[in-house]
Copies of this chain bind each other. A is one copy, B any other.
Amino acid sequence: MLTSQQLSDVLRANGYKVTPQRLAVYEALAATKSHPNAEMLFSTLQPKYPSMSFATVYKTVEILDKINVIKILNTGEDSMRYDADTSIHHHIQCAVCGCVEDLMNVDSSGLVKEAEKLSGYDIKGHQFYFFGVCPHCREARQN
């Protein structure tokens, strides 16, 4: 999570201009743990930035991903989700309510090394997705 100042610096360091829209998209992402997709981001930003467009949301997240201040998630839904937390962590999605939660403290470094050895690839990144039923939905179901 970066401050506006830090994000501004990273943007400039990579040759991108600092604009209110870019700061706003990042702030909206950093303010939530829900891993929103473009539409959720757009809806969140719309009230404060009535001129915000989908094109800007998409162009912005692409840049934020390129400069490594956000991660793009792909849980198998029709649209991409975005995450302002770039630290190594994983995700779990509830098959019932569709929510996507963070899974911190699951150490994947052993598997990455194993995968590197087995595949011969230079591994640059990895994304692990778990799917199941969240505690909340499990309880609701039992009623």
Which residues of A come within 8 Å of B, CB atoms?
72, 74-76, 80, 90, 92, 94-95, 101, 103-106, 108, 111-112, 114-116, 118-135, 138
Contact = CB atoms under 8 A, between A and B. Distances in A.
B108 A111 contact: yes
Copies, count: 2
B126 A122 contact: no
A124 B120 contact: no
Contacts of A80: 76
A105 B125 contact: no
Given A114-B106, A120-B134, A127 B126 contact: no
Nearest to A129: B127
Contacts of A130: 112, 115, 119, 121, 123, 125-126
